[in-house]
Amino acid sequence: MTDLSNIPRRTYFLVYLALMVLLAATVGATFLPLGPFHLAISVVIAVAKAVLVMLFFMHLRHTRGRTIFLILGGFLLLLILIGLTNIDYFTRVNGLPMVH
């Protein structure tokens, strides 16, 4: 791992600023007539915020080797969990069991 003491405070502040701008953007977008794009925009912004937090606050930018493989493996499992669950439900002819 790289020496974290060399990272200037300014970097953290700029990332924080970017996160706040993205928050304002995602809240602002809900007041715009974007039709079906609301979901896509809010998910893209959320992923962007999460990536910023991971790269800079959790210093993945300075992390190498097995830790990265471990994290990628974890997200692959998450993809399988969410993906296969939803492939099942999305392709059911009778939909979900009825809620009364």
Partner 1 sequence: MSEISMVHDERTSIEGEDFEHLSLETQSMGMWLFLMSEVMFFGAVFAAYIVYRHAYPQVFEEASRHLDLTLGSINTAILLTSSFCMALAVNSAARGLRKQIVFFLLATVLLGIIFLGIKFIEYSKEFSAHLFPGGDFQYPGSDPARAKIFFSLYFTLTGLHAVHMIIGIFLILILARSAWRGHFTAERYAPVDMIGLYWHFVDMVWIFIFPLLYLIGPK
How would you class 22 by CB atoms within 10 Å of its CB: exposed for 0-12, middle for 13-18, buried for 19 or more? Answer: middle
87 near partner 1, rule: CB under 8 A: no
* H runs (alpha helix) in 1-100: 9-29, 37-52, 66-90
Of 1 and 93, which has the nearer Cβ to partner 1? Answer: 1
CA–CA separation, 41 and 29 (whole Å): 8
Q: Is 55 in the site for partner 1 (CB under 8 A)?
A: no
- Based on the shown chain and the rule CB under 8 A, indicate whether residue 90 belongs to the binding site for partner 1: yes
Which residues are CB-contacts of 18 (< 8 A; sequence separation ≥ 6)? 52
Binding residues for partner 1 (CB under 8 A): 1, 3-5, 7, 9, 12-13, 15-16, 19-20, 23, 26-27, 29-34, 38-39, 42-43, 45-46, 49-50, 53-54, 56-58, 63, 66-67, 70-71, 73-75, 77-78, 81-82, 85-86, 89-90, 95-96, 99-100
